[in-house]
Amino acid sequence: MRVSTDERPALPQLIDGWVADGLITAEQADRMRAYLGLTGSPEEPRGPRRTPVVAEALAYLGGVIVLVAVGLIAARNWQSLSTGAQLGVVGGAAVALVLAGFGVPGPHTARRARLRSVLWLLATAGTGAFFALFADRPLKLDGPAVGLVASSGAAVLAAVLWWRLPVLAQQAAFVILTSLVASTAVAQLTDRPQLPGLAVWGTGVVWFALGWRAIVTPRRPVLALAAAVALIGTLMMLPADAGNVLAICTLVAVVVVAVVIRDLLLLGVGALGALNILPTVVTEWFPGRLAAPLVLLAVGALLVTAAVYVAKGRGRHDERSGHGAR
């Protein structure tokens, strides 16, 4: 399929806008351009791409070098700095990264969105470090209180940056930080060790429901992200009996949903969850020597069967879509 010359100026801009809005990923955008026969756009030629790619790589490398330099300076002189100076170094680095993201030139293309996202993820991490230091030094908090202050401050910035750049990476940062806020807040209110994990699990379940209803997009990566958060929450509750039950139920639900909707990404998350959850649960419930290996063998065989089933289903779907496009 080839697009007429009159349509070429509009379609690349639309695709780049969809990437910036988080409706599609950068890889999906590249596949759409290849399928439509689009070789470039006025802002970002698709022909010789060596210079933009090199520029992006140099930007990443420069950012890493700056962080390493700041780390070396801090490591050698950190103890001699006052609290205000330490806060200034960490906070200044975070602010600089935020401003650098805003300073990425040009329109919202996939490459520029990716570069901006990396800078803002680093800025979010720096903001968390700033608030952790602030809670530890001037406020003199400890334990979960430091985590609550740090995750809350970083989550606020992550929400703003996700609003400004609605891509999956920014969304993932916000969801992870929100789960940390929930767990540290619960840890402040109770001494029961399983409840913070329950808060993380609840965050994952809520986000899964939002992704399932397509309130938060893109749907498939959102479901995988939410499932991973929920499974991590159940891991935090092991090896308590209630945690074991919740972990198994969540794991089964993730795998069943993945098979029903034929989603290999979600099935992969379930497989990783099984690898981490099942040994602890089986050892706790069936302490025999052969119990854990036999259960893992059976579950592994089931997961392989499910993966083959999902892959065949998706292959038939893609084949039918290809015939329809022709």
User: Confidence class of residue 37 from pLDDT cuts 50, 70 and 90?
Assistant: low
pLDDT at 53: 67
Q: Diameter of the chain by CA atoms?
A: 71
Asked whether the predicted pLDDT for residue 2 surpasses 50, the reply is no
Lowest mean pLDDT across 56-60, 198-202, 227-231: 56-60
For residue 202, give both structure tokens. Answer: 């609840």
Query: Is residue 322 pLDDT above 60, yes or no?
Result: no
Residue 20: per-residue pLDDT: 67
| Angle made by CA atoms 65, 172, 129, in degrees to the nearest 5 | 50
Which pLDDT band, with edges at 50, 70 and 90, does 10 fall under? Answer: low
Closest CA to 220 of 170, 160, 266, 174: 266
Q: Which of 35-49, 89-103, 272-286 has the lowest mean pLDDT?
A: 35-49
Percent of the chain with pLDDT over 70: 81
> What is the per-residue pLDDT across 66-80, written as a single tens digit (0 to 9) for each?
777 767 776 777 778
Q: What is the pLDDT of residue 80?
A: 82
Q: Does residue 4 surpass a pLDDT of 50? A: no
- Looking at residue 52, what is its pLDDT? 62
Entry pTM? 0.76
Separation between Cα atoms, residue 176 and residue 174, nearest integer Å: 6
| Chain mean pLDDT for the chain | 81
Give the residues across from 129 on adjacent strands: none
Q: What is the C-alpha R_g of the chain?
A: 23
Per-residue pLDDT, averaged over 159-173, amounts to: 94
Confidence of residue 5 (pLDDT cuts 50, 70, 90): very low
Which has more pLDDT, 3 or 296?
Answer: 296
**287-314 mean pLDDT:** 73
Q: Are 227 and 266 in contact (CB under 8 A)?
A: yes
Contacts 24+ apart (CB under 8 A), 272-279: 272/228, 272/231, 273/227, 273/228, 273/231, 273/234, 274/299, 274/303, 276/231, 276/235, 277/231, 277/234, 277/235, 277/238, 277/247, 277/248, 277/251, 278/251
Is the pLDDT score of 41 beyond 50?
A: no
The answer, yes or no, to whether residue 27 has pLDDT greater than 50, is yes
Residue 47: band (very low, low, confident or very high) from pLDDT cuts 50, 70, 90: very low
Neighbouring-strand partners of residue 40: 45
